[in-house]
Chains A and B, each alone.
Chain A
Amino acid sequence: DVKVTQSSRYLVKRTGEKVFLECVQDMDHENMFWYRQDPGLGLRLIYFSYDVKMKEKGDIPEGYSVSREKKERFSLILESASTNQTSMYLCASSLPGFAGDEKLFFGSGTQLSVL
């Protein structure tokens, strides 16, 4: 069974802290993505990666960075957490070029609260 695993289900951090969100997929997918979900705004793309050590900015990259040192792992980093980064963070992976119908496989999400 295919799986995208996010390391934490809930996180509470303080303003100014450096935060790491980890994501691992076991499907040997080239593409990995980080989205955040906010009420009324849907899913917005933060960063994505097509290959190891490659990264591309999404629609809302400000305040975030990413790391992909291994194919199966994609980390999202909040350099200095702020309250407006309180959100549900969703990691996803896919094959390149959207082969087939199932474009993205998502993890269960990390609910981050920044106090």
Chain B
Amino acid sequence: DQQVKQNSPSLSVQEGRISILNCDYTNSMFDYFLWYKKYPAEGPTFLISISSIKDKNEDGRFTVFLNKSAKHLSLHIVPSQPGDSAVYFCAADYGNKLVFGAGTILRVKS
């Protein structure tokens, strides 16, 4: 049973527009959430994170929102760029290890 779910396998967005990637979780004990980005033939790299005591964290073009009551988080990328095309994984901190979602493939069209 997947505790972290990314229900959209893929997303296509026009360059300059907003990309919104969603993630749902089931375990209320998760207290830290992260987003990783992965390009083909490379390992995932850390993008942005958020603690459960916050509802928003921003880093440049990337913002993560957390809704604890809904057990939902989202990653906003504004404006989207072609170089953002990658697989994005949502992850939750669970006892000194991370539980990952299935990933969402983002394609940014120029």
Contact = CB atoms under 8 A, between A and B. Distances in A.
B43 A58 contact: no
A102 interface: yes
B102 A103 contact: no
Contact of A40 (B9, B32, B41, B89): B9
A95 B49 CA distance: 16
A38 to B, nearest CB: 9
Contacts of B103: 42-43
Contact of B100 (A42, A98, A107): A42
A4 B93 CA distance: 21
A43 to B, nearest CB: 4
Contacts of A4: 43
A44 to B, nearest CB: 7
B106 to A, nearest CB: 15
Given A41-B102, A42-B102, A31 B44 contact: no
Contacts of A45: 97-99
A106 interface: yes
Interface residues of A, number: 27
A33 B96 CA distance: 11
B32 A106 contact: no
Interface residues of B, number: 26
Given A42-B103, A44-B100, A103-B49, A98 B44 contact: no
B93 A104 contact: no
B22 to A, nearest CB: 14
A82 B43 CA distance: 24
B41 A43 contact: no
Given A43-B44, A103-B34, A97 B96 contact: yes
Nearest to A92: B43
Interface in B74-110: 89, 91, 93, 96-103
* Max chain A C-beta neighbours (<10 A), residue from B34, B44, B103: B44
Contacts of A106: 43-45
